[in-house]
Structure 1
Amino acid sequence: MDALVNFRDLGGKQTADGREVVSGKFFRSGEVVGLPNGTSEKLVTEYRLQTIVDFRGESEVKMRPDDTLNGVKYINIDISKDIDGATGSLQSMIHQDFSADAAMMTLYEQFVYNATAKNGLKSFLEISVSDDDIPLLFHCFAGKDRTGIAAALILASMDVSRDQIYEDYLVTNTLRKPANDQMLAMFKAEGYEDHQLVEIMKMLYVKKDYLARTFELMDLEFGGIKEFIRSKDGLGMPASYFETMVSLYTE
């Protein structure tokens, strides 16, 4: 699946009670754009994909719409629609005083506080327990931030440890390196200065600190990740959601 950048299966991880997350149910990736026919066919016939959930914003989708896969449902959930700057291009964000670390911390904080983000994440979790929609592939542009928080919620719902969630999250830095190198070369060729390239590079990768900030706020405001998922001020999912996730997707 080299043609689908940052692609992986969430299966195989251990849960707190010694069970294992079933493979072949939840996949994460970067944008599903310009895939060769062989990759598209593999997603449909081998992975038996039923649904693609796209977390990108309207402008991103319009500029680079997902490929249409035969028989696969497409759902767009813009979870960063009302987060300032979250859907802006790198070019528009990079200026003299720009701090990539500060921007990323703000984004990850808003996954906890922003109403549109929470509503979108709730919709995603509701889809995750729909038999008709699984196997499911979810993605954003790079498959790292919006996709990263969605993957964290799916895994936490099944009592996968934070260490394993961080491990999955950080795999992005390896899988995206070739694509990131190409992007950095493009920005350099366009004349961006060295200090700008440093900030751009930070934006192309993930740090444990970013996701840890989201978890920290969930702990402080709600008492934990599952409490955030369950609380009416968080995602407002029913308690039965966790039982369903464990029943359907662990063994």
Structure 2
Amino acid sequence: MSEPQVGEELVRLASADNFRDVAGPGHPTADGGRVRRGVLFRSNELQLTDADAHSLGGLGITAVYDLRGHHEVEAHPDVPVPGAAWHHLAVGGIPMDEVAALTTGEQSLAAMHRVYRAFVEDADARASFGALLTRLATTEGPQLFHCTAGKDRTGWAAAVVLGLLGVPEDVVLEDYLLTNTFSTATREKYLGLIRDHLGPEKVAVYEAVMVADEAYLRTAWDAVAATYGDLRTYVLDGLGVAPADLDALLARLRG
């Protein structure tokens, strides 16, 4: 089985439905090349079956980076991927008490925009994203990063990497929005639980929290532009990644 077929098969695994190659099918880059497949992978939380864990191990993944908060990790620890070291690089999402207090769709939207601005403006978030990119640059072998749904923290990290490679903005956006396709079953399951346990009127309240939305990604892009001017400056100055490490990472990803 060829590499693209392996990747396409893995994204359909039920226990990690948002697992995929950061490179997509080999996204086009600014230098006329393609993003190299099989180097970086992204996912939702790794609540893996034994078979799925074995399949991921077969990709030769050497490191897993968990971007979830401490309470998320404690509630649903990752299933180990054979051969891969696990690292925790926490990035805050919406605090659980704030999630519980949401009463309108407008409040949910506002909360999501705050989360994406924090990816750029919050010092702790920047430190974790900086550590992620540095480790991706300096660790041998294929690597995987993930959060809970694989859409916000993971989606931003992937969008930054693709943007740095010069992947066209519309392609980066399309890749980011694929979460809504791959995670349809999971999203519908949780919205069904909300409908059954909290009432149908709560579905509209929480739906905004469970989707990837172009407006969210643009909020983070706009924050980068306002504070740093461009993604490379954000990564070097905001995230503290060494120029040599950044260049090494991008070189590994250029096909």
Q: Which of the two has greater helix per residue?
A: 2
| Structure 1 unaligned spans of 5+ | none
**Would you say the 8 A contact 1:157–1:245 is kept in 2?**
no
Tell me whether 1:48 sits opposite 2:60 in the alignment: yes
- List gaps (5 residues or longer) in structure 2: 1-9
- Counterpart CA distance in 2 for 1:97 and 1:156 is 30
1:13 corresponds in structure 2 to: 27
Q: How many residues align?
A: 241
1:243 aligns with 2:247: yes
Distance 1:71 1:115 in 2: 32
Aligned 8 A contact 2:194 2:200 in 1: no
Local SS of the residue matching 2:198: coil
Is contact 2:30–2:166 with CA below 8 Å preserved after alignment? yes
Moved over 4 A (4+): none
Alignment CA distance shift 1:153-1:113 (3 Å): same
Residue 225 of structure 1 and its aligned partner are, at CA, apart by 1.2
Instruction: Give yes or no for the alignment of 1:107 onto 2:120.
Output: no
Please give the residue correspondences for 1:24-173 in structure 2 after superposition, counting only pairs within 5 Å: 24-33=38-47, 35-45=48-58, 47-80=59-92, 86-88=94-96, 92-95=100-103, 99-132=107-140, 134-173=141-180
TM-score after normalising by structure 1 = 0.90
Counterpart AA for 1:119 = A
Residue aligning to 1:185: 192
How far apart are 1:162 and its partner, in Å?
1.8
Aligned-residue offset at 1:50: 1.0
**AA in 2 matched with 1:237:** V
String of CA shifts for 1:191-232, please: whole Å, max 9, x gaps. 3241x210211111011010111111111211111111122x
Change in CA separation of 1:200 and 1:104 when aligned onto 2, cut-off 3 Å: same
Asked whether the 8 Å contact 1:90–1:200 carries over to 2, the reply is no
Q: CA deviation at 1:44?
A: 0.7
Q: Structure 1: which amino acid aligns with 2:183?
A: R
Give, in whole Å, the separation in 2 of the partners of 1:178 and 1:147.
19
TM-score by length of 2: 0.89
In 2, the alpha carbon distance for the partners of 1:98 and 1:203 equals 11
Give 1:200's aligned amino acid.
Answer: Y
Overall identity of the aligned pairs, in %: 28
Q: SS of 2:86's equivalent? A: strand
Q: Distance in 2 between matches of 1:98 and 1:213?
A: 16
